[in-house]
């Protein structure tokens, strides 16, 4: 739960500090590709370590991808909040 909260907070900070709207589709694609890359690396390490169960290989790969996709979605949700804060707090009222 703490990692998801950190991902959300990082998204809020990113959305607030980066001016303009973020390309959320690109953020999701990059997060998904990162998930696949990390899953392949960790699953490869599991295979190298001598654990020969294909079930462990496949299930760990799927869970890693799903976990990183969840963190990416939390980050993107944070960018929505950050953009909203940016629009409401940085806009100076004209007198």
pLDDT at 63: 86
pLDDT at 90: 74
pLDDT at 10: 92
Domain assignment present for 94: no
pLDDT at 95: 55
- Structural domain boundaries enclosing 54: 2-89
Task: Let me know if 75 is exposed, middle or buried by CB neighbors in 10 A (0-12, 13-18, 19+).
Answer: buried
Domain assignment present for 95: no
Domain assignment present for 65: yes
| Chunked mean pLDDT (size 10), the chain, 95 residues | 89 88 86 83 77 72 85 92 87 61
CA 92/CA 74 separation, integer angstroms: 29
For the chain, the domain total comes to 1
pLDDT at 52: 65
Instruction: Tell me the chain's radius of gyration from C-alpha atoms.
Output: 18
pLDDT at 48: 79
């Amino acid at each position: 739960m703490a990692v998801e909260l950190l991902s959300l907070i990082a998204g809020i900070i990113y959305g607030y500090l980066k001016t303009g709207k973020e390309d959320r589709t690109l953020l999701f694609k990059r997060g998904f590709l990162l998930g696949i890359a990390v899953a392949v690396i960790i699953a490869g390490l599991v295979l190298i370590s001598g654990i020969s169960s294909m079930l462990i290989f496949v299930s760990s790969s799927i869970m890693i991808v799903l976990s990183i996709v969840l963190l990416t979605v939390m980050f993107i949700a944070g960018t929505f909040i950050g953009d909203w804060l940016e629009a409401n707090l940085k806009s100076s009222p004209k007198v």
